[in-house]
Amino acid sequence: MNKKAMILAAGLGTRLGPETADRPKILTDIGGITLLEWITRKLVAYGFSDIIINIHHHADMIEEKASSFAARTGASFTFSDERERLLDTGGGLYNARHFFGVEPFVLYNGDIVTDMDIGSLYRFNIETGAVATLALRQREASRVFLTDPGGVLAGWLNRQGNERIMVEGWKLITDSVSRRKGISEGDASGNEGIDSSGSICRLRETPFTAVSVINPQIFRFMKEGVYSMRDVYLEAAASGLVNSYDDGGGFWIDIGTPESLGKCRELFSGGNSGLSEV
């Protein structure tokens, strides 16, 4: 059975400047291959050959390019049309909900190049029965998910603005407790939480890789509109298991800026596509 995946590719790519003046970000060249074909080949290598792509900016170009390499990659493409209105990650997934059956699927952000083992991520989701499994990775980032010692989602934090959103049933330790333990409120390493049973634990902070495995049960927490998957994950975590997968090694690049795109091209220079070990 061919497993399913969704590539989020509707973004405008404005941070890339001239690179996306006449093409969508997903068709950016990353070293002799477009980002779309690179992601497709990676997904197909792990058995995810039935792929839906949401499209907006230069939508016709994406449809044409995907169709041109579908046969040689072994992929089958469906397109979720957002030409009239961008729906963000959550609204975009919900708009494509009829594509999915009852089996879990991969949700892959079209900015990301990584050597992550997607097969291992998928198996972990199946084994744990999670509504969603988020691949998290230690790296420099201001926005992080908060997880308990077992890797279960407890909240989200913006380190720069000290903005916190906790999963229902979770509370952060108060200022007085933080001070008593010698941890300032603004110290990103000092978050401790109390769960619904009253147990206290240190909450780990880890950035999201923008790759996840989703069980279709998640659609009961969603509706039509424009919104982020972050909000869906946090809501679903209150009613069902949303856990994390530790993506600990290799490379991970968000090609959304000229600097990171340059790093990606350098990594893949000399004919190295980064796919040889998939």
Q: For residue 101, is it within any domain?
A: yes
- Please tell me the least confidently modeled range out of 120-134, 177-191, 215-229, 230-244: 177-191
37-75 pLDDT per residue, tens = 999 999 999 999 999 999 998 999 999 999 999 999 999
Is the confidence at residue 166, as pLDDT, over 50?
yes
pLDDT at 276: 52
Q: For residue 258, is it within any domain?
A: yes
Q: For residue 120, is it within any domain?
A: yes
Q: For residue 247, is it within any domain?
A: yes
- Please tell me the least confidently modeled range out of 14-23, 54-63, 172-181: 172-181
User: Apex CA 240: angle with CA 98 and CA 152, to 5°?
Assistant: 115
Under the banding of pLDDT at 50, 70 and 90, the label for residue 99 is very high
108 class by beta-carbon count within 10 Å (0-12 exposed, 13-18 middle, 19+ buried): buried
Give the domain CATH number at 126. Answer: 3.90.550.10
Under the banding of pLDDT at 50, 70 and 90, the label for residue 187 is very low
pTM: 0.91
Instruction: Specify the number of domains making up the chain.
Output: 1
Q: For residue 114, is it within any domain?
A: yes
Cα distances (angstroms) measured from residue 84 to each of 15, 37, 96 = 22, 25, 15
Is the confidence at residue 183, as pLDDT, over 60?
no
Under the banding of pLDDT at 50, 70 and 90, the label for residue 190 is low
Q: For residue 160, is it within any domain?
A: no
Which candidate, 70, 265, 49, 7, places its Cα nearest to that of 274?
A: 265
Residue 269, number of CB atoms within 10 A of its CB: 10
Q: Rounded CA gap, 213 and 134, in Å?
A: 7
Which candidate, 198, 181, 199, places its Cα nearest to that of 190?
A: 181
Greater model confidence, 171 or 196: 171
The fraction of the chain above a pLDDT of 70, given in percent, is 91
Q: For residue 196, is it within any domain?
A: no
Under the banding of pLDDT at 50, 70 and 90, the label for residue 2 is confident
Q: Rounded CA gap, 107 and 125, in Å?
A: 13
User: What is the residue range of 218's domain?
Assistant: 4-141+207-271
Is the confidence at residue 188, as pLDDT, over 70?
no
pLDDT at 106: 98
Q: For residue 97, is it within any domain?
A: yes
- Please tell me the least confidently modeled range out of 67-81, 144-158, 178-192, 244-258: 178-192
Mean pLDDT of all residues in the chain?
89
pLDDT at 186: 38
Distance of CA 85 to the CA centre of its chain: 21
Q: Rounded CA gap, 164 and 159, in Å?
A: 9
The fraction of the chain above a pLDDT of 90, given in percent, is 72
Greater model confidence, 189 or 63: 63
User: Apex CA 64: angle with CA 62 and CA 65, to 5°?
Assistant: 65
Is the confidence at residue 274, as pLDDT, over 70?
no
SS3 category, 238: helix
Residue 243, number of CB atoms within 10 A of its CB: 21
